[in-house]
Amino acid sequence: MDKILDSVNYPKDLKKLNLLEKQQLAEEIRKYILEIVSKNGGHLASNLGVVELTIAIHSVFNCPEDKIVWDVGHQAYVHKILTGRKEQMKTLRQFGGISGFPKVCESEYDNFDTGHSSTSISVALGMARARDLLHKNNKVIAIIGDGSLTGGMAIEALNDAGSSKTNIIVILNDNEMSISKNVGGMSSLLTKIRLKKTYTRSNNCVKRFFNKVPIIGKTIVNFAHLIKRGIKQTVIPNMYFEDIGFTYLGPVDGHDIQELENVLNKSQHIEGPVLIHVSTKKGKGYKYAEENPDKFHGISSFNIETGEPLSKSNKDYSKVFGDKLIDLAKKDDKIVAITAAMKDGTGLKDFAKEFPDRFFDVGIAEQHAVRFDCWNGS
């Protein structure tokens, strides 16, 4: 059978496909990325999670006229594959090869050289305001993960965008993970919003079921309605995003291309800032990455069948640092460890297990982490 991916190089090719073909394409892209990353290493889990989202974005918007800004940029492999760089992706992490992040010099479809997190909404808002000054009408879309949304800069930009009345679309890619499990109040808020969706769905199912039972069914539904109101008051959070000036759409299933296209189309016709909350699974479609998304966030070459790395790494600098810190902390109970969402990357995983009360993951919030450590208890 011919591969659909063979005939897709640019968004214009994507726009010719029907839904079934796009679903098939999503599977082929997953396989393609898996093959490349298992050989060359790279960011796997985040990219597997945004396959359908990226297909939907490039089906609905007209890039490069419409501007897409990926936060961090480690999840732009699918975007690169769909914007003329399918073959080059094979050179990922090789000398002189394609960048693993958006690069303006690489393609007209890339709008910002990134790497640091939490910058996308600021960049997109700047682009949107410049567009307005130039009397243009292209769309500007920022795609930010729930981890990156814990960064202060993202909140500052939301604050500005919310009151701006500027047409800008922020897509929140919520997979409940930073590199490790996401932390903090913003993460709890998103969980509550997702719960609301589950609650609405289950409520509708129950309603439909009891409505089919004559008379007594109606009574039960009315009773359930009373309970529902009680639960609603405690379970459903204040709509933070609406309160600060965004039109909130979602949460949407981030692996349902049709649902995604519907909401993206809708967002184009709304005036002012819009936030689309998309729920995705980090590592989607590859068992080992779904089970251990943190291990498969950024990874060196591995065996696809077993998920095991091809070369066993020796003790690296971070591990030596982490082990030494544990030794010191055993002797001095004033020693604590603070990380900005980099528990694994900074070698603090074992410290966190050994001293859970003395370990602080503050989210992607480096400024906060630095100021947070300034009191020595004396």
Ligand X SMILES: Cc1ncc(C[n+]2csc(CCOP(=O)(O)OP(=O)(O)O)c2C)c(N)n1
Would you give the binding string for ligand X spanning residues 39-58, x where CB under 6 A is met? -------x------------
Q: Would you give the binding string for ligand X spanning residues 141-160, x where CB under 6 A is met? A: ----xxxx------------
End-to-end CA distance of the chain: 71
Cβ 338 to ligand X shortest distance, Å: 13
- Integer Cα distance of 363 and 185 in angstroms: 10
Q: Are residues 237 and 192 in contact, defined by beta-carbon separation less than 8 angstroms?
A: yes
Please say which residue, 47 or 111, places its beta carbon nearer to ligand X: 47
How many Cα neighbours within 13 Å face the side chain of 186? Answer: 23
Burial of 114 from C-beta contacts in 10 A (0-12 / 13-18 / 19+): buried
* CB of 9 vs ligand X, minimal distance in Å: 25
Residue nearest to ligand X (CB): 145
Listed residue (214, 211, 191) closest to 203, CA to CA:
211
Structure tokens at 113: 């050289």
Choosing from 3, 116, 330, 371, the residue that interacts with ligand X (CB under 6 A) is 116
**Which of 72, 170, 275, 352 is the binder for ligand X (CB under 6 A)?**
72
Of 5, 76, 89, 364, the one binding ligand X (CB under 6 A) is 364
Interface residue with ligand X among 74, 139, 281, 284 (CB under 6 A) is 74
Q: With respect to ligand X, which residue has the nearer C-beta, 80 or 282? A: 282
Question: What are residue 177's DSSP bridge partners?
Answer: 181
**Minimal distance in Å, beta carbon 281 to ligand X?**
10
What is the nearest approach in angstroms of ligand X to the Cβ of residue 124? 15
Tally of residues, the chain? 378
Helix (H) or strand (E) holding 288: helix 287-291
Beta carbon of residue 142, minimum distance to ligand X (angstroms, whole number): 12
Single-letter code of the amino acid located at 244:
I
Q: Toward ligand X, which CB reaches closer, 22 or 74?
A: 74
Residue closer to ligand X (CB basis): 142 or 364: 364
Q: How far is the CB of 74 from ligand X (least distance, A)?
A: 5
Q: From the CB of residue 368, how many other CB atoms can be counted at a distance below 10 Å?
A: 16
For residues 164 to 203, the per-residue mask of contacts with ligand X, x marking binding by CB under 6 A and - elsewhere, is ---------x-x-xxx------------------------
* Rounded least distance, CB 180 to ligand X, Å: 9
* Closer residue to ligand X, CB minimum distance, 257 or 340: 340
- Which residues between 268 and 327 bind ligand X (CB under 6 A)? 282
The distance of closest approach from Cβ of residue 78 to ligand X in the complex, given in angstroms and rounded to an integer, is 12
Stretch that binds ligand X, among 8-16, 17-25, 71-79, 186-194 (CB under 6 A): 71-79
Query: Torsions phi, psi of 34, nearest 5?
Result: -60, -45
Which stretch in 18-26, 190-198, 312-320, 340-348 sits in contact with ligand X by CB under 6 A? 340-348
The whole-angstrom distance between residue 311's C-alpha and the CA centroid of its chain comes to 29
* Shortest separation between residue 284's beta carbon and ligand X, angstroms: 11
Residue placing its CB nearer to ligand X in the complex, 289 or 325: 289
Residue matched to tokens 């490790």 = 180
* Distance in angstroms (rounded) separating the CA atoms of residues 188 and 170: 19
Select the span of 135-143, 257-265, 334-342, 346-354 touching ligand X (CB under 6 A): 334-342
117 is a contact residue toward ligand X (CB under 6 A) = yes
Cα–Cα distance list, 39 to 82, 97, 124, 308, 314 (Å)? 21, 14, 34, 12, 20
Say whether residue 102 binds ligand X (CB under 6 A).
Answer: no
What are the CB-based long-range contacts (under 8 Å, 24+) for 335-341? 336/360, 336/373, 338/362, 338/369, 338/372, 338/373, 339/369, 340/364, 340/365, 340/366, 340/368, 340/369, 341/147, 341/150, 341/178, 341/179, 341/180, 341/182, 341/183, 341/365
Question: Strand ranges (DSSP E) for 255-336?
Answer: 274-279
Interface residue list for ligand X (CB under 6 A): 46, 72, 74-75, 116-117, 145-148, 173, 175, 177-179, 282, 340-342, 364, 366
